[in-house]
């Protein structure tokens, strides 16, 4: 099977500060891949590079086998219609209602009748567990959890098979975060999605991810969830075996 | 062809092929809508040849099946029904539960006649305007009280912040203000020279430029430029701080946003605008002089002599006294509208526009009032 997302030898530099120094990463189909790393290790920069929001100094980024670093804007636009992104703070368009937010990608890429647009948007709203009444609301009227769900619905607007989530559970209470994780898992299973997510939330990693990539010193160490917790790297040890993580690792090992 | 339809004795047989995705949604809908289900008792769907069925495709199929069932047909699948349909049914069921649990919709408003409608609109509008006025007054009151308090307790005056605003609104505006003052006074000199030459009175061009620039145009044009530059900047800055919850953060920290955001801007602009006006006056007089020299062959010494004669004790002060008042208007409009931003980027744009338009409007209104005042005072 070919990887859905493949990053090879990625180098990102800002002035003298090296963020990525030969980073490799591979995401296989139907996988939930978690990207982990301390603050400032370049998780968001990595995501921005994969999304084509910024070009790297060196390296190859392939999505479905196509190298996006060499693409023109027009080619990139087609690739962009094949994945969905949900940004950390939601990034909902504040001047549009929930429904209009979800319809925006459809209007941009598809030719659909008014009725079809409404139907499909409502369907997406229901799919992420919101009530249809939310359709007419503006982002400023939504709670934090609802914003995340609408962002997810917008990411799913074009029925992509690849989804990027930037800290999907940050800012949610543990119960809300768990519910959101369950939703992501449910959608992953039902829609056969490949998901790449940046997260800090240990609960979220243990609940949803199949494989985890940790950015350490500008490179990525990736392994299965079971494998990564045994990795000898000191930062990874600290991350997965610190005070906060121990109980979960034990649960994982007992369960396995 | 994404769906092949065969009619048999007892009904329809539908074979779905190819990709059924959101990109093909419109064609699918059209094709399925063209299938006549009225006469069919049995509808048999074969979804196995499909290469791809996403949620939108499933929705199209779901709609078709619902239509067939409503027409009284029995729908069955060749083999298992596609999983996506089950997901769809689950989702819709959940959504229906949500609708039942939600609050009942508000009762519709009783119908009114046309006259009543007009009256209601008028009333609502009046209340709105009244509320706006009250809010504006409250803002001015709060800003004045805070400014007075800060003046009495210099520790609260934030000199760094004031200096920054003097720099941002004053120093950086020097090039554009100078350029405009130069051009406008040159234009006035040119226009009046053409008229006065016919009367043999072109020596009075210098008088016209002097009085026009010093009394009115210097300060008015500077204010309008500054309203466009800094009034909009104030509104946009405070507005995006509002959207970012930075203002809330200030209040939560126990810092008065009026003290750190509004008053320094008002004081800064009140310092900067009179200084800018002085520069505009100077450059304007120079512009008139340059034009007189090159167009009317009036030597600079003669121009300066005419200007000296034209300036009375009050000419300069009548202009400059207006500058702080205009500065207050511009800064207050910008800060007030900026702080009104509540929820969206669109609102930010609207309120920045309102801030600039109102600043310019009130500046011109104030200028008119000053004109009446000075006329009554005979200066």
Handedness of CA A110, A113, A117, A120 (dihedral sign): negative
Contacts of A120 in chain B (CB under 8 A): 22, 25, 56, 59
Q: How far apart are CA A195 and CA A199, in angstroms?
A: 12
Asked if A6 contacts A25 with a C-beta cutoff of 8 angstroms, the reply is yes
Residue of A135, A201, A190 whose CA lies nearest to A163: A190
Instruction: Please tell me the total count of domains within chain A.
Output: 1
Kindly identify which residue of chain A lies nearest to residue B99, measuring between CA atoms.
A131
| pLDDT higher than threshold 80 for residue A247 | no
Looking at the DSSP bridge assignments, the partners of residue A62 are A6, A67
pLDDT of amino acid B138: 93
Q: How far apart are CA A49 and CA A236, in angstroms?
A: 24
Q: How far apart are CA B219 and CA B273, in angstroms?
A: 8
Q: What number of other Cβ atoms are within 10 A of residue B167's Cβ?
A: 13
pLDDT-above-90 percentage for chain A: 2
Residue of B329, B344, B163, B356 whose CA lies nearest to B244: B344
User: With a CB-CB cutoff of 8 Å, which residues 212-271 of chain B face chain A?
Assistant: 243
DSSP per residue, B128-166? HHHHHHHHHHHHHHHHHHHHHHHHHSGGGS-HHHHHHHH
**Mean of all residue pLDDT scores within chain B:** 88
pLDDT of amino acid A15: 81
Kindly identify which residue of chain B lies nearest to residue A193, measuring between CA atoms.
B54
Our CA-based measurement puts residue B203 at a distance from the nearest CA of chain A, in whole angstroms, of 59
Identify the domain containing residue A241 by its residue range.
5-255
Put simply, whether B344 touches A (Cβ < 8 Å) is: yes
| CATH no. of B3-101 | 3.30.750.24
Put simply, whether A114 touches B (Cβ < 8 Å) is: no
Average pLDDT over residues A14-35: 87
Put simply, whether A131 touches B (Cβ < 8 Å) is: yes
3 state SS of B75: strand
Q: What is the pLDDT of residues B168-205, one digit of tens each?
A: 999 999 999 999 999 999 999 999 988 888 888 888 89
Q: How confident is the model at residue B374 (pLDDT cuts 50, 70, 90)?
A: very high
Q: What backbone torsions phi and psi does residue B236 show, to the nearest 5 degrees?
A: -65, -40
Our CA-based measurement puts residue A40 at a distance from the nearest CA of chain B, in whole angstroms, of 22
Contacts of A132 in chain B (CB under 8 A): 95, 98-99
pLDDT-above-70 percentage for chain B: 96
Q: Which helix (H) or strand (E) holds B370?
A: helix B345-377
Cα-Cα-Cα-Cα torsion B320, B322, B325, B329, nearest 10 degrees, comes to -110
pLDDT of amino acid B165: 95
Contact between A159 and B99 using a beta-carbon 8 Å cutoff:
no
| pLDDT higher than threshold 70 for residue B336 | yes
Q: How confident is the model at residue A115 (pLDDT cuts 50, 70, 90)?
A: confident
H/E/C letters for each residue in B173-240? Answer: HHHHHHHHHHHHHHHHHHHHHHHHHHCCCHHHHHHHHHHHHHHHHHHHHHHHHHHHHHHHHHHHHHHH
B contact test, residue of A90, A107, A115, A119 with most B CBs within 10 A: A119
pLDDT of amino acid B74: 82
Average pLDDT over residues A56-82: 84
Contacts of A133 in chain B (CB under 8 A): 98-99, 102
Q: What is the pLDDT of residues B33-86, one digit of tens each?
A: 888 777 777 888 887 888 888 888 888 888 888 888 888 888 888 877 788 888
pLDDT of amino acid A255: 62
Residue ranges of domains in chain B: 3-101, 141-377
Contact between B343 and A159 using a beta-carbon 8 Å cutoff:
no
DSSP per residue, A196-235? EEE---HHHHHHH-SEEEEEETTEEEEEEHHHHTT---HH
> How far is CA A120 from its chain centroid?
22
Which residue reads 């000191």 in tokens? A234
Contact between A159 and B55 using a beta-carbon 8 Å cutoff:
yes
Contacts of A113 in chain B (CB under 8 A): 26, 29
Q: What is the pLDDT of residues A158-211, one digit of tens each?
A: 888 899 988 888 878 888 888 888 888 888 888 888 999 998 888 888 888 888
Out of A113, A126, A190, the one facing B94 most closely (by C-beta) is A126
Is pLDDT larger for residue B32 or for residue B302?
B302
3 state SS of A20: strand
Burial class (CB in 10 A: 0-12, 13-18, 19+), B303: buried
Asked if B322 contacts B367 with a C-beta cutoff of 8 angstroms, the reply is yes
CATH number at residue A234: 3.40.50.300
Q: What is the pLDDT of residues B282-321, one digit of tens each?
A: 999 999 999 999 888 888 899 999 999 989 888 899 999 9
pLDDT of amino acid B98: 61
Is pLDDT larger for residue B1 or for residue A16?
A16
Contact between B344 and A94 using a beta-carbon 8 Å cutoff:
yes
Contact between A126 and B345 using a beta-carbon 8 Å cutoff:
no
Q: How far apart are CA B188 and CA B66, in angstroms?
A: 77
Average pLDDT over residues B94-117: 70
Put simply, whether A133 touches B (Cβ < 8 Å) is: yes
pLDDT-above-70 percentage for chain A: 95
Put simply, whether A127 touches B (Cβ < 8 Å) is: yes
């Amino acid at each position: 099977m070919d990887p859905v997302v493949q990053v090879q030898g990625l180098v990102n530099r800002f002035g003298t500060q090296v963020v990525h120094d030969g980073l490799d990463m591979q995401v296989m189909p139907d996988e939930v891949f978690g990207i982990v790393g301390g603050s400032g290790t370049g998780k968001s920069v990595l995501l921005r590079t994969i999304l084509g929001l910024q070009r790297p100094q060196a390296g190859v980024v392939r999505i479905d086998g196509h190298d996006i670093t060499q693409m023109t804007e027009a080619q990139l636009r087609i690739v962009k219609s094949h994945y969905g992104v949900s940004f950390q703070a939601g990034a909902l368009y504040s001047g549009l209602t929930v429904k209009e937010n979800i319809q925006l990608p459809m209007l941009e890429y598809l030719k659909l009748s008014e009725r079809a647009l409404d139907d499909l948007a409502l369907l997406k709203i229901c799919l992420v567990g919101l009530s249809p009444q939310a359709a007419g609301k503006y982002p400023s009227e939504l709670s934090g959890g609802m914003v995340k769900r609408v962002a997810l619905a917008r990411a799913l607007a074009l029925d992509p098979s690849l989804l990027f989530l930037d800290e999907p559970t940050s800012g949610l209470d543990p119960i809300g975060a768990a519910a959101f994780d369950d939703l992501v898992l449910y959608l992953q299973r039902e829609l056969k999605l490949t998901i790449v997510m940046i997260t800090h939330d240990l609960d979220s990693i243990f609940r949803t991810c199949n494989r985890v990539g940790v950015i350490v010193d500008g490179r990525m160490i990736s392994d299965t969830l079971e494998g990564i917790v045994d990795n000898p790297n000191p930062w990874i040890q600290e991350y997965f075996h610190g005070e906060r993580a121990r109980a979960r690792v034990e649960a994982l090992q007992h369960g396995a | 062809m994404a769906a092949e339809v065969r009619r048999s004795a007892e009904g329809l047989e539908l074979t779905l092929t190819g990709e059924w995705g959101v990109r093909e949604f419109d064609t699918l809908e059209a094709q399925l809508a063209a299938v006549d289900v009225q006469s069919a008792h049995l509808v048999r769907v074969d979804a196995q040849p499909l290469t791809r069925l996403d949620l939108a495709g499933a929705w199209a199929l779901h709609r078709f099946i619902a239509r067939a069932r409503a027409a009284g047909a029995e729908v069955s699948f060749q083999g298992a029904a596609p999983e996506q349909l089950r997901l769809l049914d689950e989702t819709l069921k959940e959504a229906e539960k949500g609708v039942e649990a939600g609050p009942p919709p508000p009762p519709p408003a009783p119908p009114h006649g046309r006259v009543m409608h007009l009256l209601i609109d008028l009333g609502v509008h009046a209340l709105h305007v009244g509320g706006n006025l009250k809010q504006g007054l409250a803002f001015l009151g709060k800003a004045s009280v805070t400014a007075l308090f800060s003046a009495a307790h210099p520790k609260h005056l934030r000199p760094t912040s004031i200096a920054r605003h003097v720099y941002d609104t004053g120093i950086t505006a020097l090039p554009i203000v100078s350029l405009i003052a130069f051009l406008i006074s040159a234009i006035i000199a040119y226009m009046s020279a053409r008229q006065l030459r016919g009367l043999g009175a072109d020596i009075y061009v210098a008088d016209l430029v002097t009085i026009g620039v010093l009394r009115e145009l210097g300060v008015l044009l500077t204010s309008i430029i500054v309203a466009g530059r800094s009034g909009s900047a104030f509104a946009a800055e405070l507005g995006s701080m509002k959207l970012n919850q930075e203002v809330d953060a200030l209040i939560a920290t126990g810092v008065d946003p009026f003290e750190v955001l509004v008053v320094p801007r008002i004081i800064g602009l009140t310092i900067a605008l009179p200084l800018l006006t002085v520069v505009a006056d100077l450059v304007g007089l120079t512009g008139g002089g340059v034009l007189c020299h090159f167009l009317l062959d009036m030597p600079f010494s003669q121009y300066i002599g005419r200007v000296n004669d034209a300036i009375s004790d009050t000419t300069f002060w009548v202009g400059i006294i207006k500058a702080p008042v205009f500065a207050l208007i511009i800064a207050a409009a910008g800060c007030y509208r900026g702080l009104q931003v509540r929820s969206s980027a669109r609102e930010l744009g609207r309120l920045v526009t309102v801030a600039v338009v109102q600043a310019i409007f009130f500046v011109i209104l104030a200028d008119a009032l000053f004109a009446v005042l000075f006329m009554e005072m005979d200066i």
